[in-house]
Amino acid sequence: MSKRKILITLAMVCALSTAAAAEGPKAGGVVNAVIQPEPPSLMVGLVQNGPTQMVAGNIYEGLLRYSPKLDPLPGLAESWTVSEDGKIYTFKLVKGATWHDGKPFTSTDVLFSIEFLKQTHARARGNLVQLDKVEAPDESTVVFTLKQPFGPFIGIFEVGSLPMIPKHLYEGTDFKTNPANNTPVGTGPFMFKEWQKGSFIRLVKNPNYHVKGKPNIDEIYWHVIPDAAARSVAYETGKVDVLPGGSVENFDVPRLSKLKNTCVTGAGWEFFSPHSWLWLNNRAGPTANKKFRQALMFAIDRNMAKDVVWNGLGKVATGPSGSAIKYYTSAVPKYDYDPAKAKALLKEAGYKGEKVRMLPLPYGETWQRWAEMVRQNLQDVGINVEMIATDVPGWNQKVSEWDYDIAFTYLYQYGDPALGVGRNYVSSQIAKGSPFNNVEGYSNPEIDKLFADGAVAFPDAAREEIYTKAQKILVEDVPVAWMLELQFPTITRCSVKNLVTTGIGVNDGFRDAWIEK
The residues that touch other proteins, with contacts defined as CB under 8 A, are 30, 32, 37-38, 40-41, 47-50, 122-123, 125-126, 176, 181, 196-200, 202, 219, 221, 223-227, 229-230, 233-234, 236-237, 239, 390-398, 400, 411-412, 431, 433-437
Q: State which residue, 343 or 493, has the beta carbon closest to other proteins.
A: 493
Cβ of residue 64: shortest distance to other proteins, in angstroms? Answer: 20
Q: State which residue, 29 or 104, has the beta carbon closest to other proteins.
A: 29
Q: How far is CA 124 from the centre of its chain?
A: 15
For residue 162, give the nearest of 111, 217, 237 by alpha carbon: 111
Q: At what angle do helices 365-380 and 290-299 cross, to 10 degrees?
A: 110
CA distances in angstroms from 148 to 115, 142, 152, 455, listed in the order given: 20, 18, 12, 10
Residue 115 CB partners (closer than 8 Å, separation 6+): none
- CA torsion sign for 188, 194, 200, 202 is negative
Cβ of residue 2: shortest distance to other proteins, in angstroms? Answer: 57
Could you tell me the maximum CA-CA distance found in the chain, to the nearest angstrom? 91
Q: State which residue, 112 or 200, has the beta carbon closest to other proteins.
A: 200
Q: State which residue, 290 or 398, has the beta carbon closest to other proteins.
A: 398
**Residue 284 DSSP class:** S
Q: How far is CA 364 from the centre of its chain?
A: 19
Q: How far is CA 391 from the centre of its chain?
A: 23
Cβ of residue 139: shortest distance to other proteins, in angstroms? Answer: 32
Q: State which residue, 125 or 283, has the beta carbon closest to other proteins.
A: 125
Q: What is the DSSP string of 332-398?
A: S------HHHHHHHHHHHT----EEEEE---S-HHHHHHHHHHHHHHHHTT-EEEE----HHHHHHH
Rounded CA separation 53/185 (Å):
14
Q: State which residue, 236 or 465, has the beta carbon closest to other proteins.
A: 236
Query: Within a 10 A sphere around the Cβ of 219, how many other Cβ atoms?
Result: 15
Cβ of residue 436: shortest distance to other proteins, in angstroms? Answer: 6
Burial of residue 477 (CB within 10 Å: 0-12, 13-18, 19+) is middle
Residue 299 CB partners (closer than 8 Å, separation 6+): 337, 339, 342, 377, 378, 380, 381, 383
Q: State which residue, 38 or 301, has the beta carbon closest to other proteins.
A: 38
Cβ of residue 381: shortest distance to other proteins, in angstroms? Answer: 31
Cβ of residue 208: shortest distance to other proteins, in angstroms? Answer: 23
Q: State which residue, 10 or 259, has the beta carbon closest to other proteins.
A: 259
The answer to whether the CB of 103 falls within 8 A of the CB of 91 is no
The answer to whether the CB of 244 falls within 8 A of the CB of 222 is no
Tell me the β-bridge partners of 104: 98
Q: State which residue, 24 or 37, has the beta carbon closest to other proteins.
A: 37
Pairing of strands 200-205, 190-196: antiparallel
Q: State which residue, 289 or 507, has the beta carbon closest to other proteins.
A: 507
Q: State which residue, 8 or 259, has the beta carbon closest to other proteins.
A: 259
Cβ of residue 165: shortest distance to other proteins, in angstroms? Answer: 16
**Residue 45 DSSP class:** T
Cβ of residue 83: shortest distance to other proteins, in angstroms? Answer: 29
Q: How far is CA 31 from the centre of its chain?
A: 23
Cβ of residue 344: shortest distance to other proteins, in angstroms? Answer: 38
Cβ of residue 160: shortest distance to other proteins, in angstroms? Answer: 10
- CA torsion sign for 386, 389, 393, 394 is negative
Q: State which residue, 28 or 394, has the beta carbon closest to other proteins.
A: 394
The answer to whether the CB of 185 falls within 8 A of the CB of 99 is yes
Rounded CA separation 11/373 (Å):
62
Cβ of residue 274: shortest distance to other proteins, in angstroms? Answer: 9
Task: Give the DSSP H/E element, type plus range, for residue 112.
Answer: helix 107-120
Cβ of residue 290: shortest distance to other proteins, in angstroms? Answer: 28
- Reported in sequence order, the residue ranges of 255-337 that DSSP labels E, i.e. its strands, are 262-265, 275-280, 315-316
